[in-house]
């Protein structure tokens, strides 16, 4: 079946620094990838839709200058949290679409101190 990986699986960073999270589709090409954020005991919330070769589409309330998304190839999308602060600490999950189905990555836990 389709497999999506994320790197890193967890990261601790200092407030004010930037952190990049990678999402890869390992055995299929994905023109569209999605980035979600999940706070403890909360739903997954879609942050943005990443389209290969074009600008990402951000959901209302998500700062595009803070959460930079680059979908440079058909198998890789990156999310960069710029100038991270403690309130950005969360579980970030990506998914990649193949035909009608979204396949989810294992998630990246970000802790900003």
SS3 call for 87: helix
Strand partners, 97: 102
Q: What is the spatial distance between Cα 106 and Cα 102, in angstroms, rounded to a whole number?
A: 13
Closest to other proteins by CB, 20 or 97: 97
Q: What is the closest distance, in whole angstroms, from the C-beta atom of residue 58 to other proteins in the complex?
A: 12
- Asked whether position 13 contacts other proteins by CB under 8 A, the answer is no
Q: Name the minimum Å distance from CB 99 to other proteins.
A: 11
Name the segment binding other proteins (CB under 8 A); options: 12-20, 63-71, 76-84, 92-100: 92-100
């Amino acid at each position: 079946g389709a497999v999506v990986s994320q790197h890193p699986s967890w990261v601790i960073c200092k407030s004010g620094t930037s952190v990049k999270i990678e999402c890869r589709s390992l055995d299929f090409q994905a023109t569209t990838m999605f980035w979600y954020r999940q706070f403890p005991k909360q739903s997954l919330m879609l942050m943005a839709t990443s389209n290969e070769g074009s600008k990402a589409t951000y959901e209302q309330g998500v700062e595009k200058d803070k959460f930079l998304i680059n979908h440079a190839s058909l198998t890789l999308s990156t999310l960069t949290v710029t100038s991270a602060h403690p309130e950005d600490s969360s579980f970030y999950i990506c998914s990649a679409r193949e035909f009608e189905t979204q396949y989810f990555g294992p998630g990246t836990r970000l802790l900003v101190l």
